[in-house]
Amino acid sequence: DWNASNIIDEQIEKIKAQVGRHQVICGLSGGVDSAVAAALVHRAIGDQLTCVFVDHGLLRKGEVEQVKHDFVKATGIKLIAVDASEDFLSALKGVSEPERKRKIIGERFIRTFEKAARDIVAKAGEKGEKVKFLVQGTLYPDVVESGGGDGAANIKSHHNVGGLPKDLDFKLIEPLRTLFKDEVRAIGTELGLPDEIVWRQPFPGPGLGIRIIGDITRERLETLREADAIAREELTKAGLDRTIWQCPVVLLAHVHSVGVQGDERTYGSPIILRPVSSEDAMTADWSHVPYDVLGEISNRITNECKGINRVALDITSKPPATIEWE
């Protein structure tokens, strides 16, 4: 019989035994998986845990502030925020191949965690214990899709599994590695995390980096960030947050089509809306969002986002498509 509190007790014992007196860091993304993993490890080892939130420049509007504020308020866990956007964006410069993007992002995350770990030790002075463990909120579907499941194909290298560098200096703690999202949500609730964290829609670790089809530039990120904020705002206003599993907003950076805006011919890029419903992200259906909501999102994006003259709706299920475009 599946029971959140049994799993919690079991994992706490396991984590305590594994960690001993060592220092532990946890990569926090703002999403439910890493938040629940952090809360679980915190319950096991308290202040030996420090969370590291990496701003890789691929986050959505308002996300940095939200994580810094809401997460600390909800959990009281020590948090360091690192601005690594310069570093990530220069490593990704000119890269458009999806798997390469994922590998670069996975590697940059680890290098950023290594630096944060050195800083923690340096700050603790002579008696500072080495940081030996890294907590990740890896779920079962991440492992399967990265080709880590029995005989499974590598669909895409999730940044925290197949995207990890080979010379990893940390031992991994992944207490959610056998679980699905609904189970993780139940554990989060049992641990006392607020609904805003537990029911947050999934957002991939590589962030907007895998939602720009083509290479990533600051200008494209700015455009996509604005379009994503509009879509989220309108879907929330329409009360669809729990009906929809998530709604990737994708910029086709290298596609240009002719449009007419303010009496002038334009040659702009399209934005794709990808609202899906799903149970566990392993399969998904496209969501039947009401036309008036779609219409409002389309109007606002073409009016408010520079260089965008079309909005299109993705009506493909998974399979044959995946949820994200890369």
Task: Determine whether the annotation assigns residue 32 to a binding site.
Answer: yes
Q: Phi and psi (nearest 5°) for 270?
A: -90, 150
| Span from 85-93, 113-121, 286-294, 316-324 in contact with ligand XMP (CB under 6 A) | 316-324
Min dist CB 130 to ligand XMP, Å, is: 27
Should residue 323 be labelled a site residue for ligand XMP when binding is judged by CB under 6 A? Answer: yes
| Span from 15-23, 73-81, 204-212, 221-229 in contact with ligand XMP (CB under 6 A) | 204-212
Number of residues engaging ligand XMP in binding (CB under 6 A): 16
Should residue 58 be labelled a site residue for ligand XMP when binding is judged by CB under 6 A? Answer: no
Should residue 45 be labelled a site residue for ligand XMP when binding is judged by CB under 6 A? Answer: no
Should residue 202 be labelled a site residue for ligand XMP when binding is judged by CB under 6 A? Answer: yes
Q: Between residue 136 and residue 155, which ones bind ligand XMP under the rule CB under 6 A?
A: 145, 155
Should residue 324 be labelled a site residue for ligand XMP when binding is judged by CB under 6 A? Answer: yes
Task: Determine whether the annotation assigns residue 276 to a binding site.
Answer: no
Q: Residue ranges for the binding site for ATP?
A: 29-35
Query: What are the residues binding ligand XMP (CB under 6 A)?
Result: 102, 145, 155-156, 158-159, 202, 204-206, 246, 281, 318, 322-324
